[in-house]
Amino acid sequence: MKKSSKSLFVFVGMITLLILVLGVLLFSGNKEIKKYQNALNSSEIRNEYFQDEATIKSRNSVSTQGYTVTFYQVSAEVNEEFEKLSDEQKYKVFLEVRDVLKQEDISYYNFSCGKKRLCAIDGFQFTHNNDVYEYKKVLLNDHFSLVLNGEEIYSTESKRKNVTSKVNDDTETTMQDKGGNDWASLSDNQKYHAVSNALYNLDQQGYTILEGEYYYILNFRTQ
């Protein structure tokens, strides 16, 4: 009887110890997450665009090489002011959220949160009524994008393509059939290409052009 009571006591002791250890580990991880959450909810973003406080909750966990990695997501219900923003501006709000986390600790995307436990804040989601906005990294093209209800609406890649397209359009600028008002309305880049194209055409027609630091002089025709 005494032996049975002793065994029961040892068993209860082991269970209690296990619960305490798990509690310490969970508290350690939650403490780290809590500091990021508090930083977000004391930022200007919360006052400007969030209807209520943002939360950071676990999405899933995986085990690898003896470690448990838990992935977390920042979630917030956004207001009408956020809805009024352009897609690019909405994208930048997500960047501001990341900046707040970085200022708290630059390792927010991969930090220790207990013995053999790693935590990562890698998910960002805003909701408004039935709409779900997400900030995601597209691994295939290595760029970040803003996704609305599962469809990409803005990305760094699309912006880069637009800029490239604009630059290519500028290279075709000429002053043919244009006057002074047209010149005044051109951007600096368009003016540069307009002059370059004009000089190229004159050179092709056989004119010699003298170039100084601040001027071009049309000298004479060689043909």
Provide the residue ranges of all domains of the chain, joining segments of one domain with +. 2-160, 171-221
pTM for the model stands at: 0.59
- Residue 164 Rama label (left phi>0; alpha psi -120 to 50; beta): alpha
Query: Rounded distance, CA 33 to CA 103, Å?
Result: 14
Tokens of 201: 């055409």
Does 148 or 209 have the greater pLDDT score? 148
Which tens digits make up the pLDDT trace of 9-36? 545 445 544 444 444 344 345 888 999 9
Q: Say if residues 36 and 121 touch (Cβ distance below 8 Å).
A: yes
Query: Rounded distance, CA 94 to CA 146, Å?
Result: 9
Whether the CA torsion 70, 71, 77, 78 is positive or negative: it is positive
Q: Residue 71 has what pLDDT?
A: 94
Count the residues in the chain.
223
Q: What is the DSSP string of 157-212?
A: HHHHHHHHHHHHHHTT---TT--HHHHHHS-HHHHHHHHHHHHHHHHHTTEEEEE-
Which tens digits make up the pLDDT trace of 61-110? 999 888 999 999 999 999 999 999 999 999 999 999 999 999 998 888 88
Rounded percentage of the chain residues whose pLDDT exceeds 70: 56
Q: Is 80 exceeded by the pLDDT of residue 186?
A: no
